[in-house]
Amino acid sequence: MEIFKHSRAVKWTTLSLLVFSLGAGLAVGWRTEARSGGQVKGKSSPGYVSKVSPDLLGLARGPRAATLRVKVILQINGAASSATDALLPGYGARTLRHFQSFNARVIELPAAAVEALSARSEVRFLSLDRGNVPSGHLSLTTGADAVRVTNGTTTGGLDGTGIGIAVLDSGIDTTHRAFLDRSNGLRVVASRDFTGENRTDDPYGHGTHVASLAAGNGRISNAQYIGIAPNANLINLRVLNAQGAGSVSNVLSALDWVMTNRAAYNIRVVNLSLGSPAVDTFRNDPVCLAVRRLVDAGIVVVAAAGNNGKNSSGQKVYGQIHSPGIEPAAITVGASNTFGTDGRGDDGVATYSSRGPTRSYWTDSSGTKHYDSLVKPDLVAPGNKLVDAEALDNLLVAQNPQLDAGISPVDGRKMMFLNGSSMSTPVVAGAAALLLQASPNLTPNLVKAILMYTAQPLAGFNMFEQGAGQLNIEGAVRLAKIVRTDLTAATSVGAPLLTTSTPPAPQTTIAGQTFTWSQGLIVDRTYAVGAELITLYQKIYGTGVVFGDGTLVSSGVVFGDTTMVSSGVVFGDSILTSSGAVMANGTLFMGVNVLLSDGVVFGDGVVFGDGVVFGDGVVFGDTTLRSDAVTQAQSASVGGDLTSAMNLQVDTGVDCLDY
């Protein structure tokens, strides 16, 4: 594995040098023939080497040059740093970042001024600040980069500042550089151990990776592996021991601590990248009840769906959502596979990601089981072969050396791979933090609704696999920013939800690809669609309720409770396989009446439809919680849908502070 990584790195380095050589060769022969106001007018003759990269030059000479501002790497000749800094304002430029070891700057300036600046003798070369490394693409492909950028810069963007994210996991290695703030202060603001091992570091290695996906900074490898909310505060609540196992009581103790201390640390989000077999109905499951309590208190709780999406024969398995992912009030997250590309047109649900419906149940006095049969997950997010922080001397890497990504040999800068819904969950937790930073008065139910409404339906996957679709942070933040801030329990059904009468366009463009939002919500055993979900206030968005409180069912027909939802909201009677358009488009997978049949048709071990199997699968033990890193470690080999196009950016050892 290491030989493969190194040889690939050599190939990429060689290819990069070849590309750069070709670019320089193409630029030879250009010189300035005429200038007016500092702008290049003419073409070239042999002997002139352009000091502007071709893609940047294209923008500088393009139709939008007069209004477009670009983020550029400025390389400076010799000792001309101070002189160059002084002249930059004259070109409408401002410095975003200084490098410690390189005679260069990151600047932002009008595209129309690029060629004039390049003509200065102090300037050695100008190039776009590109961000196109496939394996480090998480923040771009999710839309997080878009909300951190304001007018082409990082200034004024969202980064989770002030929001506390509680991570219930195996601990956090606080010596890792990923958890520092811009002033070198530690953003892990509290640590508690609930395992009895009397330590809060991360000997297992799962929690550090999870925490950095949610809120790791961009210091390493030039921000290629930046977390979703890189300046959020982290609350480290250790509930899994050095072997990655824990108990329900550990989690309950930690959730109780959150309830007591939420105001002191502004804990607005809780991340649960763990789970236990879902046996008891969510109405009885103690962790589900605790999660509901937190949500009613205004805390967003994000839970992993699990990694039991296929059996040992490779068949799709349904009904394997873990607890507390079975809780209706939680945001339950499955794993999508981006195949290492920024564009989302090739994305799909990872084969191992647990599918719904929930198979937790209660038993009546006659011994009959009554299944919850909720549609879960609520949405999916990238969770396949993600690269982020590696805890010092952790067990996962010790037992599976191939998990080390080879980014750095330096402790505190190492990165590792992990796969699974444990990784997709903190991506959504980080997204929730950004929404709450953008609009602090959002309730947990509104956060959940916005994330689902703006999600991208993935073609060919049904609602039990993807919920509303794949996370779209750009769209979610855009919608969150225009939600009214004066909503209360007294706000009536059908009152305006937004501060504007014009709802946002339900499309997002990422990496040059435009997709349409789902424009719907997963609601217990069905789904709801309609523009009124975001134009009008729905009572299900308040605290103390769940989305299912807005649905009524009669003889298998689903319709709305107009005391809870406005009359323009439409509920579906079928579970669909998406066409890749809005949530209501697609083909019939199964009717809602099957879900209501308490397992008579939809029963354990029944082969249904496309040959997939429904059943209880492997049980780890009724009282044992286990992170899904066991599955992740076993599935880390190259092959199948776990393979991503790997182009890893090795760390230089110099901190990047521009995040």
Q: Among 203-207, 211-215, 343-347, which is the least confidently predicted range?
A: 343-347
Statement: the pTM of the whole predicted model exceeds 0.75: yes
Please check whether residue 19 lies inside any domain of the structure.
Answer: yes
Question: Domain boundary at 108, 130, 152, which?
Answer: 130
Residue pLDDT, tens place only, 456-513? 999 999 999 999 999 999 999 999 999 999 999 899 999 999 999 999 999 999 988 9
> Is 79 found in the same domain as 142?
no
pLDDT at 592: 87
Cis-peptide, bond into residue 357, ω within 30° of zero:
yes
> Is 166 found in the same domain as 91?
no
Are 201 and 171 contacting, i.e. CB atoms less than 8 angstroms apart? yes
Q: Using CA atoms, how far apart are residues 582 and 519, in angstroms rounded to an integer?
A: 6
pLDDT at 33: 29
pLDDT at 129: 65
pLDDT at 99: 57
Please check whether residue 79 lies inside any domain of the structure.
Answer: yes
pLDDT at 284: 77
The three-state secondary structure class of 8 is: helix
pLDDT at 144: 87
Residue pLDDT, tens place only, 358-402? 998 877 778 788 899 999 999 999 998 899 999 999 999 999 999
- Answer whether residue 314 shows pLDDT above 90: no
Residue pLDDT, tens place only, 556-588? 788 888 999 999 999 999 999 999 999 999 999
Torsion-angle region of residue 302: left (phi > 0), alpha (psi -120 to 50) or beta? Answer: beta
Please check whether residue 270 lies inside any domain of the structure.
Answer: yes
Mean pLDDT, rounded, for 183-212 = 96
Are 147 and 153 contacting, i.e. CB atoms less than 8 angstroms apart? no
pLDDT at 408: 92
Q: Using CA atoms, how far apart are residues 408 and 400, in angstroms rounded to an integer?
A: 17
How much is the mean pLDDT over the chain? Answer: 82
> Is 383 found in the same domain as 282?
yes
Please check whether residue 655 lies inside any domain of the structure.
Answer: no
Please check whether residue 582 lies inside any domain of the structure.
Answer: yes
CATH code, domain carrying 104? 3.30.70.80
pLDDT at 170: 95
Confidence of residue 1 (pLDDT cuts 50, 70, 90): very low
Are 658 and 154 contacting, i.e. CB atoms less than 8 angstroms apart? yes
Confidence of residue 216 (pLDDT cuts 50, 70, 90): very high
Domain interval for residue 408: 135-623+628-634
Q: Using CA atoms, how far apart are residues 291 and 297, in angstroms rounded to an integer?
A: 10
Mean pLDDT, rounded, for 133-158 = 63
The DSSP line for 139-170 is HHHTTHHHHH-BTTBSTT----TT-EEEEEES
Please check whether residue 659 lies inside any domain of the structure.
Answer: no
Q: Count H helices and E strands in the chain, helices first.
A: 17, 32
> Is 200 found in the same domain as 124?
no
637, two tokens: 């080999």
Residue pLDDT, tens place only, 617-654? 332 222 334 444 444 444 433 233 333 334 677 877 77
> Is 244 found in the same domain as 374?
yes
Confidence of residue 603 (pLDDT cuts 50, 70, 90): low
CATH code, domain carrying 364? 3.40.50.200
Confidence of residue 10 (pLDDT cuts 50, 70, 90): very low
Q: Please give the tally of structural domains in the chain.
A: 2
> Is 99 found in the same domain as 36?
yes
Mean pLDDT, rounded, for 269-296 = 88
> Is 395 found in the same domain as 482?
yes
pLDDT at 279: 79
> Is 281 found in the same domain as 147?
yes
Cis-peptide, bond into residue 324, ω within 30° of zero:
yes
> Is 141 found in the same domain as 52?
no
The DSSP line for 304-343 is E--S-SB-TTS-BEES-PPBTTT-TTSEEEEEEE-TT-SS
> Is 402 found in the same domain as 260?
yes
Please check whether residue 643 lies inside any domain of the structure.
Answer: no
- Answer whether residue 44 shows pLDDT above 80: no
> Is 235 found in the same domain as 107?
no
Mean pLDDT, rounded, for 139-154 = 70
Confidence of residue 35 (pLDDT cuts 50, 70, 90): very low
Q: Using CA atoms, how far apart are residues 145 and 509, in angstroms rounded to an integer?
A: 12
Residue pLDDT, tens place only, 161-181? 999 999 999 999 999 999 999
> Is 304 found in the same domain as 184?
yes
- Answer whether residue 189 shows pLDDT above 80: yes
Q: Among 128-142, 209-223, 588-602, which is the least confidently predicted range?
A: 128-142
Please check whether residue 646 lies inside any domain of the structure.
Answer: no
Q: Among 62-71, 88-97, 128-137, 185-194, which is the least confidently predicted range?
A: 128-137
Cα–Cα separations (whole angstroms), residue 600 to 594, 595, 597, 603: 8, 9, 6, 6
Nearest to 349 by CA among 376, 371, 328: 376
